[in-house]
Structures are given as C-alpha cells and as structure tokens.
Amino acid sequence: MTHSSSNVALSVNVNKVALLRNSRHLGIPSVTRAAQLCLQAGAQGITIHPRPDERHIRASDVSELHALMQAWPDREFNIEGNPFHNLMDHVRAVRPHQVTFVPDSEGQFTSDHGWTFPQDAQRLKPLIDECKALGVRVSLFMDPVPEQMAAARAAGADRVELYTEPYAATWGTPDNAVQLQRYADAAQAASQAGLGLNAGHDLNRDNLPAFVTAVKGLQEVSIGHALIADALEMGYAATVQAYLACLHK
C-alpha cells in the first residue's frame, strides 16, 4: 500500500455511493466507478461495510470491487462488518487485504461502539485465526480505552481501528482536547501491545489534521460520509455547467 507524506493511508469508504445508487434501479452512481476515481485520485484503499440488510453495499458490489482491486495491486481493500452476521461469507469469497470486525447489531443505524474484552475474546479468536489463515489482516473496531489494547492483541488482532465519533462530536468544544488525549493514550497502548493502528468514523477535513498530529503511529484512516458529501459539493459547479452546456448548444 502506498502512503502520503504524513504516512497515514486514506481508505475511502464508498457505502454512501451505494446508498444513493440504491434509491433507483439505474445503477448510477456506480460504486465501482466511484472507487476507481478515488484510486486514480491517490486514495490508498477502498473500504466497504456490507450490512446484512444491504441498505447500501450489496453482495454484488463486494465481488465487483474485488475484481476492480486486482488492477490496483498496491492498494488495499478493507471490508468491515460483524463476523457473526454476513461478514465471513465475504471474507471467504474474496479474501480482502484487511477485514475490520465491528460489533454492530443487525439493522443498526451506524456503528457506535467497539468490542469489549475479556467478554468478546473467546468467540472472536477462532474467527480471527480463520482470517489470518486465509491471509487476511484483522483489525478490531475499538473504543479508545488503553486497557483494552493488550487484550485485543492477545485475541490475535493485527490492528485496531479506533472509533473516532466521540472525538469528532466534540470538535470545536472545550471537551475536544480531553477526547483527543484518550486517543493518543489508546494509540500508545496499542503500539506497546504490538498492534497496528487505524481510525475512523465521522472524520472530516476539519477534525482530521489535529487527530493525525496527536495520535502517534496512525497507519490508516477510513473516511466515507464526510468525504462523499464533500465530493458532491466540490463537484456541483462543474456539473451544473455541463448541464447548462447541454441546454445552450
């Protein structure tokens, strides 16, 4: 996987492109085309979270994105989800570079917490072992709790993904510095435990620079909602001009 000058890789989550696509039966916007454009623009990876209800990413997207990624051997394909629901079927079928286990319930609005140790250790370990036997790196979605990091490593995880919504939600408030320190401490504990470090959820162009500066050892951020929203806004002017040109030939 290639890296930007900050050494933190950007994996673009294309869930929200699929959400828009699913509102009609026309196949637009294309999820694979969006992923291809993100890779052409320099993104180091593509992330998807195929939920059991297929509200956005569908099983067909997983195989089509897998096929696309074969043309980008230095980029990373990351699939997120609950390994006790539908995730392992996808992992066995396409063997992505990385899988991120997330403890969401079925139908959950969006991810809002990480795994808990020691409670989750015993049931996660065989699935982590299976992924690693398939050659798939395993990252566990975790709250920024330093004491949990060694247990995540003991369960066999290669990396953790720190759930960043509490940091993002306090951006611009006095509480934000306290939150940021929690992430810096969790990152240090993860590093001491021998874990690699990812982060994601509600990261955006405002809150990302301070996070990357404070959280040492960060290897990858996965960003979807804000990035796709920005892509729409940054594209309105050129798009309206293209439609006006159709009208005023």
Ligand X SMILES: CC(=O)[C@@H](O)[C@H](O)COP(=O)(O)O
Ligand Y SMILES: NCC(=O)COP(=O)(O)O
Output the smallest distance, CB 196 to ligand Y, in A. Answer: 15
Q: Enumerate the β-bridge partners of residue 161.
A: 141, 198
x/- mask, ligand X, residues 32-51, rule CB under 6 A, reads -----------------x-x
**Which of residues 75, 90, 153, 201 is near ligand Y by CB under 6 A?**
201
Taking the C-alpha atoms of residue 100 and residue 118, their distance in angstroms, rounded to an integer, is 18
CA distance 238 to 234: 9
Asked if 227 is part of the footprint of ligand X (rule: CB under 6 A), the reply reads no
Instruction: Select from 9, 14, 15, 50 the one that contacts ligand X (CB under 6 A).
Output: 15
201 near ligand X, rule: CB under 6 A: yes
Q: Rank residues 8 and 240 by Cβ distance to ligand X and give the closer one.
A: 8
Which uninterrupted H or E stretch holds 138? strand 137-142
Q: Is the peptide bond before 83 cis (omega within 30 degrees of 0)?
A: no
Spatial contact of 226 and 202, defined as CB atoms under 8 Å apart:
yes
Going by C-alpha positions, the residue among 172, 140, 143, 162 that lies closest to residue 8 is 162
Catalytic residue among 76, 90, 201, 220: 201
Least Å distance between CB 134 and ligand X? 21
Query: Residue 98: beta bridge partners?
Result: 78, 137
Is residue 98 close enough to count as binding ligand Y by CB under 6 A?
no
Annotated binding residue 248: no
- Candidate residues 83, 103, 144, 200; the one interacting with ligand X per rule CB under 6 A: 200
Q: Is 45 annotated as a binding residue?
A: no
Active-site positions read 49, 80, 201
